[in-house]
Structure 1
Amino acid sequence: MARAKNLGRFLLWRSIRAFTLLAGISIISFLLVKNSPIDPIQAYIGADMLNVGPEQREKIAQHWGLDDPVFKQYVNWASSLLGGDLGTSMIYREPVAEVIKEKFSHSIVLMLTAWVLSGVIGFTMGVVAAMNKDTAIDRIIKWYCYTLASTPAFWMGLLMVMVFAVWLGWFPVGLGVPAGILSDDVTFIDKVKHLVLPAITLSIVGVANIALHTRQKMIDVLASDYILFARARGERGFILFWRHGLRNVALPAISLQFAAFSELFGGAVLTEQVFSYPGLGQATVEAGLRGDVPLLLGLVLFSALFVFTGNLIADLIYYVVDPRTREGRTYES
């Protein structure tokens, strides 16, 4: 009963924090968009700018509410948001919620694939490096991770395209499906082929943090007294790690991996641009460059909620798996 009460209190405080976070982000994002040098009306009209007169521009501004004061525009948008309406995208001419839903269906496959790969590979590399501390294997893994930590996602994507798509021709250059083919004719294999390079690019960049963090935690565990006692009893190698090291290094790694949702989303924006992958990243860039205020704000709030959810899941896993985190915990902090 006490455990359920503590969990409910924890979720309540996190809900309050999520609401205040989203409110603050919405205000800051709205002000930044409104002070952008991009003219949303001009971006909306596009190439037909010379054929549109002042009266038509005024009608367009009235239709989208762009002629109202900034404060009134925000109040109108926030009121619609509280009513469950994110507005209508100026680019796609569709409800923002529908656009996000469609784009997220593509991005979630890419991000989850990259997230799992980076977590498994990074955790394995960190454990191997720690178990072979100060050897050639450890130095190679550290050099590899330090190199990746300073490597931009878009540069890695361009390199992957150049090597595996252009030179070797193993994978398609970009897009989410083959060009010129009806959606009904696209096979699962076609989707996988277009997913491989973006997913590998995103996962490679995300390996460094989890590997270096796991390595240091594993080194600390191996230096503990109970590990020395286990070694005195003859335990070595994988058996030693499985019995005494896995639980102690897995929880920090899981927390870091869920906390990396922000980096995952940011990397997806750049990666999707490089590969012209039809996901949230590409939609975010288009919305920013073309002044689509409703879509851009919707994407900003969605990404913030996405990152917050990752952190919340990590905390819940800690709460359930590790009993020590339930003792003396303050939810107001």
Structure 2
Amino acid sequence: MNIRKYSGIYRYIGKSIVKMISLLIAVSILSFILVSLSPVDPIRAYIGEVGLANMSAENLAKLEAYFGLNTPPLERYLNWFTDFIRGNMGSSLIYRQPVASVIGVKFMNSMVLMATAWIFSGILGFTFGIAAGLYRGQWIDKVIKGYSLLIASTPTFWLALVLLMIFSVWLQILPIGLSVPIGVNAAEVSIFDSIKHLLLPALTLSVIGVANITLHTREKMIDIMEEEYILFAKARGKSRFSIIRHHALRNIMLPAITLQFASISEIFGGSVLVEQVFSYPGLGKAAVSAGLGGDAPLLLGIAVISAALVFTGNLIANLLYGVIDPRIRRGSVHG
């Protein structure tokens, strides 16, 4: 293996990782400041109004010391950050469990939901964009473009409520919410039950995520179809399928891949609202519960993990650029 040949790529990966770590630290600092400024009292959220009224001053002081409310904010952040890099994210006030355990369960639920929506939205958006650009000005282009513009301006929570009302309330073919049937033991839940509960939230996220990649791919397809080498291929009698496969596909895939991985942040943001509407026990719903309940350790852990997920998606997109397009790979070596 020629190490010098890939030295530029290794350098780029190293710089990207350092940049990502710096951004994660910045996210943790900003999140800690916002949590510290929150009007929600963690002690009141932890023990409730009745418990707080019946608590003695001595026990209240012990709880304040336990939560670190008597220590300066900088010292509190450094203590949290030191524990975090050691793998100790603290204990969740709401779930009464280690934050790492709570995030592990919620993260897997959200990953199944977001991955399903991400894959379907990418495939559908890419296909719709090619079809709209290929048949520019025709009825299929007008339908796809109109649909994309309508969906792009539709609030996620509103669409989730509409789909919930149609498929769960009126037609009653899909469950109203949650990730498993109510009253059923975890060991008795089948894969079919899980898919049935996943379908409506994933459909909502997929529909929302289709718009951007469809419109972007359409514009790119229109530009490519006007290039001279495409016109030359048409003059030689090549079919549309052959032109797309041999000439247009690679040029369309590059920006589409970047946009698709960049949409991870959009899908995660949409999942927060979707999980609330469908009561889906994922990371987004846990973040909302942590924010309303003053669960600072859980909220900080979710913020950092979510930021790491988004930054990793952007890094993968940039690396895939070099895999798909040799010109970019050569540029990274000589750069």
Normalising by the residue count of structure 1, what TM-score does the alignment of the two structures yield?
0.96
Deviations 1:268-297 (Å, cap 9, x if unpaired)? Answer: 111101000011011100111111111111
Alignment of 1:111-122 (within 5 A): 111-122=114-125
In structure 1, runs of 5+ residues without a counterpart are none
CA contact (8 A) 1:318 1:325 kept: yes
Measure how far apart 1:47 and its partner are: 4.8
CA contact (8 A) 2:8 2:333 kept: no
Deviations 1:20-77 (Å, cap 9, x if unpaired)? Answer: 1011111111011101111111111125343334333222121222221211111111
Is 2:227 the counterpart of 1:224? yes
Is 2:101 the counterpart of 1:73? no
Counterpart residue type for residue 27 of structure 1: I
Measure how far apart 1:331 and its partner are: 11
- What residue number does 2:109 align with? 106
- What residue number does 2:183 align with? 180
SS of the equivalent of 2:271 reads helix
SS of the equivalent of 1:16 reads helix
- What residue number does 1:166 align with? 169
CA contact (8 A) 1:103 1:280 kept: yes
Counterpart residue type for residue 22 of structure 1: L
Distance of 2:267 and 2:334 partners within structure 1: 27
Distance 1:324 1:110, change over 3 A: same
- What residue number does 1:36 align with? 38
Deviations 1:71-91 (Å, cap 9, x if unpaired)? Answer: 111111111122222121111
Deviations 1:158-203 (Å, cap 9, x if unpaired)? Answer: 0110000000001000000000111111111100100000000001
Normalising by the residue count of structure 2, what TM-score does the alignment of the two structures yield?
0.96
Counterpart residue type for residue 265 of structure 1: F
Distance of 1:47 and 1:252 partners within structure 2: 53
Measure how far apart 1:326 and its partner are: 2.6
Counterpart residue type for residue 129 of structure 2: G
Is 2:61 the counterpart of 1:58? yes
Q: Of the candidates 141, 144, 148, which is equivalent to residue 144 of structure 2?
A: 141
Alignment of 1:1-20 (within 5 A): 1=2, 2-20=4-22
Distance of 1:150 and 1:56 partners within structure 2: 52
SS of the equivalent of 2:137 reads coil
Q: Of the candidates 216, 238, 244, which is equivalent to residue 213 of structure 1?
A: 216
- What residue number does 1:204 align with? 207
Counterpart residue type for residue 324 of structure 2: V
Measure how far apart 1:239 and its partner are: 2.2
Distance of 1:61 and 1:262 partners within structure 2: 35
- What residue number does 1:285 align with? 288
- Identity fraction in percent: 51
Distance of 1:54 and 1:236 partners within structure 2: 82
Q: Of the candidates 131, 134, 159, which is equivalent to residue 131 of structure 1?
A: 134
Is 2:268 the counterpart of 1:265? yes
Distance of 2:243 and 2:332 partners within structure 1: 31
Measure how far apart 1:236 and its partner are: 2.6
